[in-house]
Structure 1
Amino acid sequence: MTPPDHLTVQGPEDILGFIPHSLGYWPADSLVAMTLQGKRLGATLRLDLPGPEVLADPKKFAGTVRDYLRADAHADASLLVFFTNEGWMDGCLGSVQTYTGLLASLQAVLGTAGMPVREAWYVGDSYWRDAYCTDQSCCPLPGRPTSDILDSRLNAEMVFRGSSVGPAPEEQRPAPAAMSSEDMTGLRAAEAAWMVPLDLRRGSRAQFDALLDSWEPLFRSGQCPADPLVQGFLRASLRVPSWRDAVLVMAAAGRTAACAGAEQFGIFDAASRLAPVRPRADGLPEAAGLQDAGSGSGPVVPNPVPLPDSTVPGYGEVLLGLEPPVPDWTSMNNLDHVLEQLAAGGGQSAAAALAGRGWISWCRGRGSYAAAHLGQALDEEPGYRLAELLLELVRRGTLCGWAARKEAAWQKFGPDAA
């Protein structure tokens, strides 16, 4: 994550003030590493500070930091920030003593990789200080107040632009549904009612098309229709893994990729001739009851599927962020908002929605948020496979392909933040 081009960093307070906006929260017990491209801030990386065993020999940890930062091919220097509350109040700055070896190892490894450490700081809840400065005339003990960071010009500018700093991802829980218990009961009843006809149509190409027709407008609006019947339909559709994956792929890579991938996986059954079902709609889906999308007694003829070719990415390539070269971030952002609303109802559908949000966060390069969403998915449905697989990628530190490339990476602050 980088700050908008026309925002000028005038001092360390601006850099330190930008980090919580980049991450979305004030980090704790964390190492934050940032790349530099000349005088311009580049990518931001956050890792948990290592424990005593790693600190005893920090070379491997430093190598991990280097490997992550190498994703910024234009980086020519780096900045390091140790967010820790250790040792500030005892007057001896235990944080400096604890992490001196790690800082030295990072300096050596990043310097050899062509990203020498330009500056480094320690930041606690109450104080911050330069990691290299020992002159108490400019760096008095225990440090300068963190109010300098909160009052920085860049922090004020980010707030003015609508950026906010929230709680850490592990402290965030899905917001309670803004509906009465009666409405919640109605939502769950609607979902249960949809599950029966949808389950009979899992192999139907016509039903698959009707499903994508219902989801596609939501990628443009980012708003889930308020009608419980429509929400029940959407939640029920997420319970079918192949349909859930098609929704994620369509948001990132378009409908052609979603359809071609489904065809490749062989999810369609030519013998499935039931007319598709969905909420009746005029424009955006607003439920008026159940209906058959087909009419008459003749067979439903599936829409043609383009034959797979090298220009249409497969599901695996999309879900790992390898293709397309740049995903449709607008659709993915809007899908994230919709999934947030659908997760409020709990249960297996919520697990599917939270796993989808975890995937989107991972694609954005926000591992902490991804882990939080995926953990919540497993709370809703222990053993939920997609959440388990994605959480393993996050825990291994695997970067999504898009997050590793500047030209493809998500930009929190809009197109001028490249």
Structure 2
Amino acid sequence: MERDTEAHGAAADSTAQRRAGDDTAADRSRPPEERVRLSVGEPGDALALVQHTLGFMPEDSLVIIGLMRGTTGAHLRVDLAAAADDPGRLARWAADCLGGAGTDPGADGSVVLLFGDEAPAPPMNGEEALRPHAALCGALEAEMSRRGMPVVQTWLVGGGSIRDYHCPDAGCCPYPGQDVETAAHSVLNTHMVYRGRRALRTPTEITEAFLEDRRPLPAERDAVAAHAAPRRPGVAGPDSAEHALAVWECALDDELAGRLDEPEELHRWYLDHGEDLGAAASALADRQVRDALLVQAAVGVAPALAGLRVSRSAAPGETPGEALERLEGPSGPPPQLVTLVGEFEAAFLGATGRRPDWARIDALEALLSRLHHTVDDGVRVEVLAMVGWIEWARGRGSVAGAYLDRCRELEPAHGLADLLERAMGLGGICPWARVREHSWSYGRDGDAG
């Protein structure tokens, strides 16, 4: 199933001109000699910006790039078919994502790109209303203008070509347009490659890299797997669950400190800690431990343990907060416990209102990549769901969807996968990704000075 939302809260490392020749604000996030001035009115610059922001060139997609005082802001990707179903609703939702409540900073302009299968062609009888996706573009332009972030450029991409959506002059912009591959080799593309940005990969390639990278040697794998006995979800007792979280915390410390960077150190880590690592990995079959570990990486040990302990008393389908309300006592549950459980639930939903510890979340992803080869499919399905959550939290809905697809290959009806699918299907961009300073992208590769 294709996901229909993708968002990035951080500005790209460039200064975007709204039209060729327009003045633009300086990008103060980096020294003047490192700033790149580009024009979203140039097809190559617009394509390169999308490609490097999302990490891949999208297909069958609507992409909207927010502009803020001449620099690029939030980026939004939506399945084109879903966008066309109800253009008015989509336009209102997109405006909320780029400039509504909970989005900081909001956009003051926008650029639209439509990625389809067919190459741009003249409209029938020259009628503007008969252009592809005319209703969607009209709704977006009207709503974005009404909300103070007018669409300043629209590009139609398809059949290997890109063309200005609104240009009526075939002499100025011959059909089907410029070749995409040629146009994409812009100054922005060259600049980003030169500065060592990540290699461009599709969501499927990203999941494959995760599943293949850092494969342990047979001796290392056996050292962990010997202690990773198959477990049914929910069978870990309180002591073993808390011990597993403690082991994961030590492993996060090792990863963050760079103690697993060298092959010799990593080999010793597997062999010396095989029993603890095996138990900690297999404990992820307990989905309460799985959820607690995600929270622990994002906001720390105390909320994770509080949420885990309260979850143990929850009825089926009950949240930790709901379970907490049933705790008996003369004055109800302790205030500190209420606070920690609230933080647990907020972190799981990406709604803490502050930046999570992205370095620890990244470290958790690296550890899961190191260990998933040592466990059986009953645990591996939880690992795939966890990385799907991490990518959703980062605002990378397409990549999250690729992990959830792999998760569903092992377990078609998976609880966390279902939850994330519903959230993304309803346009549920993670709140962390909607605030620039809270987002995963902010500050990466020197993007925020």
Same fold (TM over 0.5): yes
Higher relative contact order (CA 8 A, sep 6+): 2
Deviation at 1:261, TM superposition (A): 2.6
Counterparts in 2 of 1:110 and 1:333: CA distance versus 1, 3 Å: same
Q: How does 1:294-373 map to 2 (within 5 A)?
A: 307-308=336-337, 310=339, 313-323=342-352, 325-345=354-374, 347-373=377-403
Q: Contact 2:248–2:280 (CA<8 Å) still a contact in 1?
A: no
Deviation at 1:184, TM superposition (A): 5.6
The counterpart of 2:211, out of the listed 156, 161, 175, is 175
Partner in structure 2 of residue 74 of structure 1 = 106
Q: Contact 1:35–1:72 (CA<8 Å) still a contact in 2?
A: no
Matched, 1:39 2:74: no
Counterparts in 2 of 1:326 and 1:15: CA distance versus 1, 3 Å: same
Structure 2 residue matching 1:402: 3-state secondary structure? helix
Counterparts in 2 of 1:219 and 1:313: CA distance versus 1, 3 Å: farther
| Whole-angstrom distance in 2 between the partners of 1:353 and 1:330 | 18
Deviation at 1:146, TM superposition (A): 1.9
Identity %: 30
Deviation at 1:57, TM superposition (A): 5.7
| Whole-angstrom distance in 2 between the partners of 1:210 and 1:62 | 46
The counterpart of 2:252, out of the listed 210, 216, 219, is 216
Matched, 1:375 2:405: yes
| Whole-angstrom distance in 2 between the partners of 1:232 and 1:318 | 26
Partner in structure 2 of residue 292 of structure 1 = none
Matched, 1:121 2:138: no
Q: Contact 1:261–1:315 (CA<8 Å) still a contact in 2?
A: yes
Deviation at 1:399, TM superposition (A): 1.8
The counterpart of 1:109, out of the listed 127, 136, 143, is 143
The counterpart of 1:3, out of the listed 4, 12, 26, is 12
Deviation at 1:165, TM superposition (A): 4.7
Deviation at 1:394, TM superposition (A): 1.9
The CA RMSD measured in Å over matched residues stands at: 3.3
Matched, 1:233 2:282: no
| Whole-angstrom distance in 2 between the partners of 1:221 and 1:245 | 24
Q: Contact 1:17–1:150 (CA<8 Å) still a contact in 2?
A: yes
| Whole-angstrom distance in 1 between the partners of 2:378 and 2:222 | 16
Partner in structure 1 of residue 49 of structure 2 = 18
The gaps in structure 2 that reach 5 residues or longer are 1-9, 14-28, 314-333
| Whole-angstrom distance in 2 between the partners of 1:152 and 1:359 | 34
Deviation at 1:166, TM superposition (A): 3.6
Which ranges of 4 or more aligned residues in structure 1 deviate by more than 6 Å?
A: 93-96, 180-183
| Whole-angstrom distance in 1 between the partners of 2:353 and 2:104 | 19
Counterparts in 2 of 1:188 and 1:331: CA distance versus 1, 3 Å: same
Which has the larger displacement, 355-364 or 59-68?
Answer: 59-68
Structure 2 residue matching 1:190: 3-state secondary structure? coil
Structure 2 residue matching 1:98: 3-state secondary structure? coil
Partner in structure 2 of residue 261 of structure 1 = 307
Matched, 1:243 2:285: no
TM-score (norm 2): 0.74
Deviation at 1:308, TM superposition (A): 2.3
TM-score (norm 1): 0.79
Aligned residues: 376
Counterparts in 2 of 1:39 and 1:148: CA distance versus 1, 3 Å: farther
Counterparts in 2 of 1:233 and 1:310: CA distance versus 1, 3 Å: closer
Which has the larger displacement, 244-253 or 221-230?
Answer: 221-230
Which AA in structure 1 matches 2:36?
Answer: T
| Whole-angstrom distance in 1 between the partners of 2:428 and 2:67 | 22
Q: Contact 1:246–1:259 (CA<8 Å) still a contact in 2?
A: yes
Could you list the per-position Cα deviations for residues 68-89 of structure 1 after superposition, in whole angstroms to 9, with x for gaps in the alignment?
222354311111011123134x
Structure 2 residue matching 1:10: 3-state secondary structure? strand
Higher helix share: 2
Matched, 1:387 2:417: yes
Which has the larger displacement, 316-325 or 135-144?
Answer: 135-144
Deviation at 1:361, TM superposition (A): 0.7
Deviation at 1:190, TM superposition (A): 3.1
Could you list the per-position Cα deviations for residues 332-355 of structure 1 after superposition, in whole angstroms to 9, with x for gaps in the alignment?
112112223333455021111111
Counterparts in 2 of 1:261 and 1:143: CA distance versus 1, 3 Å: same
| Whole-angstrom distance in 2 between the partners of 1:56 and 1:175 | 35
Partner in structure 1 of residue 58 of structure 2 = 27
Counterparts in 2 of 1:187 and 1:116: CA distance versus 1, 3 Å: same
| Whole-angstrom distance in 2 between the partners of 1:358 and 1:218 | 23
Counterparts in 2 of 1:192 and 1:257: CA distance versus 1, 3 Å: same
